[in-house]
């Protein structure tokens, strides 16, 4: 039965991956037509696109709970959000840092880095009573929409300023960030994009449902809390689109997309993805997540922020340390902090 559950989780991950990929392709086509900058794509379209697995897991989890298909799905869904956040800010960013030197400008880090702390703090306030209500879910979604509005307003202001002026004080900006994105695939028609979007969306939802049901079965068979499976397995699996997208962006020397996606995707996961599911059905939050996992996540954000702020780059030893921190967290979680 354990192998059966693992098989279905793997099948669900495949659906999540390819469903998200189809959606991202259609979204990037639309972005190309609109002439959107690299940084804008990374912070909004690509961040939301690569967060689609987390969004789908929340929505399907909410529907499963609402209709009684799996009323105890809370641990998988909430664990997935925290686990995905933790995985991206440590393991994924560390892998990117080891594969190639990455950098981020201080104005970008000041804006998105600060919002990382704010978004997690909002989540903590909503979850402190161990339940995320529909009203709190709406507040999360509104907070994310306001964040997007501020980004768009900020980007419009920045695009009016010449890069030479911004770099006069040795502020290291990605020169590709303000360019229109290159078309990485054959030109398509609007109808084709809509078709790809619909197919990708359906595959994504099916993959999400298979993943969460398989994960819950695995938790029961291993006799571990569902939140542990959500944190360590589902959280890792739903982070794969970010890893693939960001490695591709780095190979194209589109540093703005890679860093912007990591920062923007985490904000989307913890606010919009959580809220999207909790609007459908209120989610309970395990106490251990409040006492152990979220403090560890705050420490991870602080560590990452410090590394990126000091010289606006992530050195290889710093990237390796982030990966080691993720391993240390997993070890502590499995040995001492499951419940």
For the chain, what is the domain count?
1
Higher pLDDT, 88 or 107: 88
Report phi then psi at 234, rounded to 5. -65, -40
| Mean per-residue pLDDT, 85-105 | 84
CA distance 160 to 174: 16
Q: Percent of the chain having pLDDT more than 70?
A: 78
Report whether 115 contacts 288 (CB < 8 A). no
Report whether 232 contacts 65 (CB < 8 A). no
| Mean per-residue pLDDT, 191-219 | 81
| Mean per-residue pLDDT, 316-333 | 94
Tokens, residue 169: 């004080």
Residue 242 pLDDT more than 60? yes
Q: Report the chain's mean pLDDT, rounded to a whole number.
A: 80
Q: What is the pLDDT of residues 260-299, one digit of tens each?
A: 667 778 898 899 999 999 999 999 999 999 999 999 999 9
Higher pLDDT, 322 or 155: 322
Q: Which domain holds residue 54?
A: 2-335
- Say whether pTM exceeds 0.75: yes
Higher pLDDT, 88 or 22: 88
Q: Percent of the chain having pLDDT more than 90?
A: 30
Amino acid 41: pLDDT:
61
Residue 200 pLDDT more than 70? yes
What CATH number has the domain bearing residue 322? 1.20.1420.30
């Amino acid at each position: 039965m354990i192998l059966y559950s693992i098989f279905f989780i793997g099948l669900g991950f495949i659906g999540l991956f390819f469903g998200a990929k189809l959606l991202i392709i259609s979204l990037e086509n639309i972005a190309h037509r609109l002439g959107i900058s690299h940084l804008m794509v990374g912070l909004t379209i690509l961040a939301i696109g690569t967060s689609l697995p987390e969004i789908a897991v929340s929505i399907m989890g909410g529907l499963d709970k609402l209709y009684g298909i799996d009323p105890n799905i809370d641990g998988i869904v909430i664990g997935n959000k925290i686990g995905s956040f933790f995985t991206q800010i440590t393991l994924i960013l560390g892998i990117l840092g080891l594969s190639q030197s990455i950098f981020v400008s201080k104005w970008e880090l000041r804006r998105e880095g600060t919002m990382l702390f704010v978004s997690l703090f909002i989540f903590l306030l909503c979850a402190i009573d161990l339940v995320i209500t529909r009203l709190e879910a709406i507040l999360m979604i509104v907070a994310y929409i306001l964040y997007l509005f501020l980004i768009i307003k900020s980007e419009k202001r920045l695009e009016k300023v010449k890069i030479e002026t911004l770099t006069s004080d040795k502020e290291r900006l990605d020169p590709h960030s303000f360019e229109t994105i290159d078309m990485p695939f054959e030109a398509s028609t609007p109808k084709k994009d809509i078709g790809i979007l619909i197919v990708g969306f359906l595959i994504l939802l099916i993959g999400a449902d298979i993943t969460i049901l398989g994960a819950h079965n695995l938790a029961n068979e291993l006799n571990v809390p569902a939140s542990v499976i959500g944190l360590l397995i589902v959280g890792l699996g739903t982070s794969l689109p970010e890893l693939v997208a960001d490695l591709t962006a780095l190979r194209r020397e589109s540093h703005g997309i890679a860093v912007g996606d990591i920062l923007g995707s985490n904000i989307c996961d913890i606010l919009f993805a959580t809220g999207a599911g909790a609007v459908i059905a209120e989610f309970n939050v395990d106490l251990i997540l409040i006492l152990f996992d979220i403090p560890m996540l705050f420490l991870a954000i602080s560590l990452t922020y410090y590394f990126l702020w000091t010289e606006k780059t992530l050195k290889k030893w710093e990237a390796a340390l982030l990966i080691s921190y993720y391993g240390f967290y997993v070890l502590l979680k499995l040995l001492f902090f499951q419940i």
